[in-house]
A and B are shown apart, each in its own frame.
Chain A
Amino acid sequence: MAFVKGLKCRECGREYPGEALNVCDFCFGPLEVIYDYVTISEVVTHQRITDGPLSIWRYQDLLPAEADDPVDIMAGYTPLLKAKNLGKRLGLNNLYIKNDSVNPSFSFKDRVVSVAATKAVEFGYETLACASTGNLACSVAAHAARAGVDAVVFIPADLERGKVIGAAVYNPTLVAVEGTYDEVNRLCSEVSDNYHWAFVNINMRPYYAEGSKTLGYEVAEQLGWRVPDHVVVPSASGAMFTKIWKGFNELACLGLLDGVSPMPFGADQNTVHHPAVTTRMHMAQAAGCCPIVSAWENQQNQIRPVRPDSIAKSLAIGNPADGIYALRVIRESDGSGYAVPESQVVDGIKLLAETEGIFTETAGGVTVSTLKYLAETGAIGPDELTVAYITGNGLKTQEAVEEVVNPLLVKPMMGSFEAALENRMAAQV
């Protein structure tokens, strides 16, 4: 069973029942799930977790949906790889890659959508919906298929065909909106008010966002129930960034980190910080859309919305819903933010591919380039335990790296092959 007490406004603190709500009626602030941590602490153990399925649902006690029959395409429990080659290149001896690009629909979105879809079915919804330019559309359509409910996916009309196919194959109703990015946002907000559909990141948002906590749980579990010294996380809305931090702190407060004493959560569960969690949270954004990093760099307390202009489309959220909370996490954790120059996004993709054999999308390029910057500037020490989160698969943004295709063109004869090989080797010297 889920140990949910209800929802609570992050701004004014008003409490609501655990229903399909995302905004406080009084101040229009965002709602967050609140849990019965006293009961959770009585049931959750390492053994209970490790006896669970090899998916996010092994952490069912810490998720806000009934897990008896989750909408599960086996999201999560993705590899944590020791990145020896990349680490050597960057001078980091203790570097790990959390490779979340190998989720069933090839991005971390499967974690959040699995929770939202399970909750939607629990609430009795028969339609799962979202607005997306890529990863979220694929994940929503896939989970709706698994759940046996309808899917309605809104996309910009000019979205590249390759990105549409990844969602269309699951047979959702695709709605191609002829309008600007802002107009798509506005339409979908209005549609969500008028249709009895479960919009995963609108009326399901409090539950949806909680799925990202599993990125924190898994890393801690895979490291032997300890948290890293540093994490590097790509950010769009800022929700995943805040939830990884929350995940680490929940484990600490529940006494699930090795050698760490439990601690009460206090009145505000969503801002709890256990002193044993000393992880420094580093945010990676692309320079073409970096409203949160800009606020951090300029020491502002407000996020100024921007019009996205970045090749990292999966991070292109100009008005991030959780931006202000992510900014607070950077500060609370003594972390940092870095806006990767657009010209270095592809460099990051190539660096990870060439050193570790992992092909990531543009968001991963942003992460790796940020990691490189942090290593070069000494923000991460050579022996500090560091985890970089790779959240999406390179097959989604192949056009970004088309330039890498440069084959040896040869006739079907040994002489032609050897001449071409010799030329290539000479060019590389």
Chain B
Amino acid sequence: MSMAKQRVRFTFSAEMVREPIIYRLGHDFDVVTNIRRADVRSDVGWVILELEGTDDEIQRGLDWVGNTGVRVDPIAGDVIEG
């Protein structure tokens, strides 16, 4: 199965900012996480990272992240415009 890379941005709310989401993404799924830029504060945070794995495994991991309440976006912001 071919490997893929995906660049994403996670946004953490105050409730989620202390959770080890990225650790668990790398531990519980067959996905390599590579953080490139971040700004994490006590009440909010974002992390821009690259994920590497199979398409299916990255998707499974991102679905899990989304279900925790962490927001997942493309790194360049919304690309659909009015």
Contacts and interface: CB of A to CB of B under 8 A. Distances in A.
B28 interface: no
Interface in A121-149: 130-136
Contacts of A411: none
A305 B56 CA distance: 26
A302 B82 contact: no
B77 A319 contact: yes
Interface stretch (A62-70, A185-193, A274-282): A185-193
Contacts of B73: 182, 185, 305, 319
A115 B58 CA distance: 35
B48 interface: yes
A236 to B, nearest CB: 6
Nearest to A22: B76
Interface string A185-206: 1101110100000010110010
Nearest to B46: A302
A335 interface: no
B80 A363 contact: no
A154 B75 CA distance: 19
B39 A302 contact: yes
B50 to A, nearest CB: 8
Contacts of B77: 237, 317, 319-323
A409 B26 CA distance: 69
B1 interface: no
B32 to A, nearest CB: 16
B36 A28 contact: yes
Contact of B82 (A26, A199, A316): A316
Contacts of A135: 81-82
A253 B76 CA distance: 30
Interface string B42-82: 00101010100000000000000000000101111111111
Contacts of B41: 302
A132 B71 CA distance: 22
Given A11-B37, A133-B81, A134-B82, A23 B11 contact: no
Contacts of B46: 302
B81 A131 contact: yes
Contacts of B82: 132-136, 236, 313-317, 363
B57 to A, nearest CB: 15
Nearest to B7: A28
Nearest to B41: A302
Nearest to A205: B76
A54 interface: no
A364 interface: no
Contacts of B74: 185-186, 189
A186 B9 CA distance: 11
Contacts of A363: 82
A188 B80 contact: yes
A211 interface: no
A184 B82 CA distance: 13
B79 A202 contact: yes
A378 B7 CA distance: 45
Contact of B11 (A26, A132, A305, A317): A305
A182 B78 CA distance: 8
Interface of A: 11, 22-23, 26-30, 109, 130-136, 154, 156, 181-182, 184-186, 188-190, 192, 199, 201-202, 205, 236-237, 300, 302, 304-305, 313-323, 363
Report the 5 A-B pairs with minimum CB-CB distance, sorted nearest first. Answer: A314-B82, A321-B77, A189-B74, A131-B80, A136-B81
14 contacts: A23-B76, A28-B37, A30-B76, A132-B80, A134-B82, A181-B80, A185-B74, A192-B79, A201-B81, A305-B11, A316-B82, A317-B80, A317-B81, A321-B76
